Amino acid sequence: MNESQVDGKVKKDLEQATAFKEELQKMVITPVREVFQFFDREDTELWVVALKDEYIITFNEYDNVYGLAFRNIFKALVYLGDEGSLVDAYQSYVSRNEEAAGGNRKSGSSKKRLRRKKKPDPEPW
């Protein structure tokens, strides 16, 4: 597939989206091919079709599936996995972003952690 074919596919999928359509429209970019690092196989070229924060929504033309990736601190593109549809990839981004935000709030909390009571040593036989 070339850039215009991928762009057409993304626009078609965006038109069919019933959820998150406005949010996705803000993220979508002109498709660009980039090389992504995979955890379980060799580096692979995928289409970058949407960007938000450090996350990237990708399109794999061979499997006809969208996925999610991110740019790490070394500026390398790391593939997180296949998600299915464009909306599925967006939902994965949202859940990861919410988890990250929740984790940051908890780490700065002034509430004291409750400590577990130490279990007594078992009785020797």
Q: Assess if residue 72 is contained within a domain.
A: yes
**What integer pLDDT is reported at residue 4 of this predicted model?**
96
**What integer pLDDT is reported at residue 3 of this predicted model?**
96
**What integer pLDDT is reported at residue 98 of this predicted model?**
82
From residue 89, alpha-carbon distances to 46, 55, 60, 93, 123 in Å are 14, 10, 12, 6, 54
Q: Assess if residue 9 is contained within a domain.
A: yes
Q: Assess if residue 107 is contained within a domain.
A: no
Mean pLDDT taken over the chain: 85
Q: What residues contact residue 44 under an 8 Å CB cut-off, 6+ apart?
A: 35, 36, 38, 60, 79
Bridge partners for 81 per DSSP:
68
Q: Assess if residue 18 is contained within a domain.
A: yes
Domain of 32, in residue numbers:
3-101
Q: Assess if residue 108 is contained within a domain.
A: no
Q: Assess if residue 79 is contained within a domain.
A: yes
Query: What gap in Å lies between CA 65 and CA 61, rounded to an integer?
Result: 7
Query: What gap in Å lies between CA 94 and CA 19, rounded to an integer?
Result: 13
**What integer pLDDT is reported at residue 45 of this predicted model?**
95
Q: Assess if residue 111 is contained within a domain.
A: no
**What integer pLDDT is reported at residue 22 of this predicted model?**
92
**What integer pLDDT is reported at residue 100 of this predicted model?**
76
**What integer pLDDT is reported at residue 122 of this predicted model?**
64
Query: What gap in Å lies between CA 93 and CA 104, rounded to an integer?
Result: 17
Q: Assess if residue 42 is contained within a domain.
A: yes
Q: How many domains does the chain have?
A: 1
Q: Which residue positions in the chain have pLDDT lower than 50?
A: 105-113
